[in-house]
């Protein structure tokens, strides 16, 4: 998924930010007085949880809820002026590879408003340059990411079937009657759990993984697949763009992922090249992303260091990958134009003659302007050998192409 390509970069950035400055006061959300629990709606957009919040009584703004983020991060530089922040100071973040250091603002405590919640001492980092273009790659305006502070003092139930968060104080939490309790550790403000993985060659390992609501992929393992003796059925892939350049590796499937008593099979997995492993002070094996997590109703309990998993209606859906070989993003004032940013060599899109910078006008006669990126994702990963009629704009010409999907994994 396209968002994965940004999230690898964001993970590196947020790890660096955690070590760039120290906040003395506690930062957390709490329930309003005399309230035991509150329900907050969210939108699931390209397998990412988007909630609305206000900053200093201005907004609402769209923020991605991301357990892989240790600091509140504002990715839209225009918010610096609109939310009227005073006494901010600039930091420089090194370690990003070639070129000048990245500059960002660190704010004083902000007034973050989420319906039913109060906040205390929450500051944020604001990038001076929009490095990631999240709005373009997700298809709706995105202003930032909210992570550790949202979870650190409360229990959060994530229900993907009705797109809601139920936030409660630990002593008032309604725990699942059926489900599996998984212990976690909180390290560098990120949650970690153990999962058992069986690879295609029969190798079985226990892996320490980040529980990552901000990763669109199912599973990411920092292990060169070649050393597992399982290159058959794997494809070389551009896994994304990191802060130091392209991240190359493999996409494939593992036989089984075991989380407590739950066993998921044939799971699509990203394997970065060993030279691109993400640096961190925490020894880990990868992360568990939304491609798996959305198959459960989750109860995230940082205070007692545990997460409850209960399978939902998505649990038995097969794991599928894009079958078009196309990567694309939105642009325009309303983010309703879809542009192809890359065509995988040898893929269905390549065979159909599609090129970088082509614009998608319609899919099966339905205008792309009336579709969400997630709708397009679903079409392009729907069925092997399925033929799709695309209307394309290139240069000054509009033409039609038949794209026949091709499963590669």
Cα–Cα distances in Å, from 362 out to 253, 371, 390? 32, 9, 6
* pTM: predicted TM-score of the whole model, two decimal places: 0.89
Q: Are 110 and 25 in contact (CB under 8 A)?
A: no
Q: Enter the CATH code of domain 326-404.
A: 2.30.42.10
CATH H-level, domain 173-311: superfamily: Acid Proteases (2.40.70.10)
Distance from C-alpha of 141 to C-alpha of 63, rounded to nearest angstrom:
9
Residues of the chain with CATH 2.40.70.10: 2-170, 173-311
Determine which helix (DSSP H) or strand (DSSP E) holds 64, and give its type and residue range: strand 58-65
pLDDT at 241: 57
Match 């139930």 to its residue by tokens. Answer: 157
Domain 2-170 indexed as CATH 2.40.50.140: no
Tokens found for residue 122: 């929450």
Residue 52 or 238, more confident: 52
Q: What is the pLDDT of residue 173?
A: 86
Note the pLDDT of residue 197.
94
Least confident of 22-36, 294-308, 331-345: 22-36
- Per-residue pLDDT tens over the stretch 148-181: 999 999 999 999 999 999 999 988 888 888 889 9
- Which value, in Å, is the radius of gyration of the alpha carbons in the chain? 21
Q: Which pLDDT value is given to residue 95?
A: 46
Residue 239, pLDDT > 90, answer no
Q: Is the pLDDT of residue 205 over 80?
A: yes
pLDDT at res. 279: 53
Specify the domain boundaries for CATH 2.30.42.10 within the chain: 326-404
Mean pLDDT, all residues of the chain:
85
The torsion angle over the Cα atoms of residues 259, 262, 267 and 270, rounded to 10 degrees, is -10
**Which pLDDT value is given to residue 97?**
45
- pLDDT over threshold 60, residue 384: yes
> What is the structure's pLDDT at 14?
58
**What pLDDT is stored for residue 368 in this prediction?**
95
Each residue of 309-324: b (16+ CB within 10 Å) or e?
bbbeeeeeeebbbbbb
Specify the 3-state DSSP secondary structure of 367: strand
Q: Going by C-beta distance under 8 Å and a sequence separation of 6 or more, which residues neighbour residue 377?
A: 1, 46, 322
Mean pLDDT confidence for 28-57: 92
Give the dihedral sign, CA 9/11/12/13.
positive
In contact, 66 and 145? CB cutoff 8 Å? yes
Give the helix/strand (H/E) hosting 138.
Answer: helix 134-138
Q: Give me the pLDDT at residue 93, please.
A: 65
In this structure, the strands spanning 125-127 and 73-74 are parallel
- Average pLDDT estimate for 101-128: 86
Buried b (16+ CB within 10 A) or exposed e, 228-262: bebeeebeebebbebbeeebebbbbbbbebbbbeb
Start-to-end CA distance of the chain, whole Å, equals 14
At residue 96, the pLDDT reads: 46
Which has the closest alpha carbon to 253: 276, 235, 238?
235
Which residues make beta-bridge pairs with 249?
237, 272
**DSSP for 86-122?**
-S-EEEEE--SSSSSPEEEEE-----EEBTTEEEES-
In this predicted structure, the answer to whether residue 2 has a pLDDT above a threshold of 50 is no
Confidence (pLDDT) at 157: 96
Q: How confident is the model at residue 5 (pLDDT cuts 50, 70, 90)?
A: very low
How much is the pLDDT for 358? 97
Q: Which two tokens stand for residue 262?
A: 């739950």
Among 90-104, 181-195, 338-352, name the one with the lowest average pLDDT: 90-104
Distance CA 297, CA 11 (A): 24
Give pLDDT, residue 3.
46
Residue 371 pLDDT level (bands cut at 50, 70, 90) = very high
Mean pLDDT of the 105-129 span: 88
- Element of type H or E holding 38: strand 37-41
Taking residues 193-214, what's their average pLDDT?
92
pLDDT tens for 213-231 read 988 889 998 865 555 555 5
Looking at the predicted structure, is the pLDDT value of residue 92 above 50?
yes
């Amino acid at each position: 998924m396209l968002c994965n390509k940004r999230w690898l970069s964001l993970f590196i950035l947020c790890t660096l930010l955690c070590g760039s400055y120290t906040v003395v006061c506690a930062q957390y959300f709490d329930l309003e007085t005399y309230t035991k629990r509150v329900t907050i709606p969210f939108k699931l957009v390209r397998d990412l949880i988007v909630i609305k919040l206000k900053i200093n009584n201005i907004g609402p703004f769209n923020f991605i809820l991301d357990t892989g983020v240790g600091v509140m991060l504002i990715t839209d530089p225009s918010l610096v002026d609109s939310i009227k922040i005073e006494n901010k100071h600039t930091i420089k973040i090194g370690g990003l590879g070639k070129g000048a250091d990245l500059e960002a603002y660190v704010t004083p405590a902000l007034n973050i408003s989420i319906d039913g919640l109060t906040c205390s001492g929450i500051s944020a980092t604001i990038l001076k340059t929009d490095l990631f273009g999240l709005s373009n790659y997700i298809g709706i305006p995105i202003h930032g990411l909210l992570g550790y502070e949202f979870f650190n003092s409360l229990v959060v139930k994530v229900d993907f079937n009705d797109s809601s968060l139920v936030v409660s104080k630990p002593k008032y939490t309604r725990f699942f009657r059926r489900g599996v309790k998984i212990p976690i550790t909180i390290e560098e403000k990120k949650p970690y759990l153990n999962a058992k993985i069986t690879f295609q060659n029969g190798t079985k390992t226990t892996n320490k993984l980040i529980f990552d609501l901000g990763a669109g992929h199912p599973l990411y393992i920092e292990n060169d697949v070649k050393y597992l003796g399982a290159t058959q059925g794997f494809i070389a892939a551009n896994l994304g763009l990191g802060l130091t350049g392209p991240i190359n590796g493999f996409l494939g499937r593992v036989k089984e992922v075991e989380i407590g008593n739950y066993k998921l099979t044939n799971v699509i997995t990203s394997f970065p090249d060993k030279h691109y492993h993400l640096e961190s002070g925490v020894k880990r094996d990868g992360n568990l992303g939304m491609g798996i997590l959305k198959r459960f109703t989750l109860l995230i309990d940082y205070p007692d260091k545990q997460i409850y998993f209960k399978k939902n209606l998505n649990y038995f859906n097969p794991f599928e990958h894009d079958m078009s070989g196309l990567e694309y993003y939105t642009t325009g004032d309303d983010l309703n134009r879809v542009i192809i940013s890359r065509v995988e060599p040898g893929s269905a899109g390549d065979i159909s003659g599609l090129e970088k910078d082509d614009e998608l006008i319609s899919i099966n006669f339905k205008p792309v302007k009336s579709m969400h990126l997630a709708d397009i994702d679903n079409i392009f990963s729907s069925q092997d050998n399925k033929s799709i009629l695309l209307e394309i704009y290139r240069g000054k010409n509009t033409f039609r192409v038949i794209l026949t999907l091709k499963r590669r994994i």
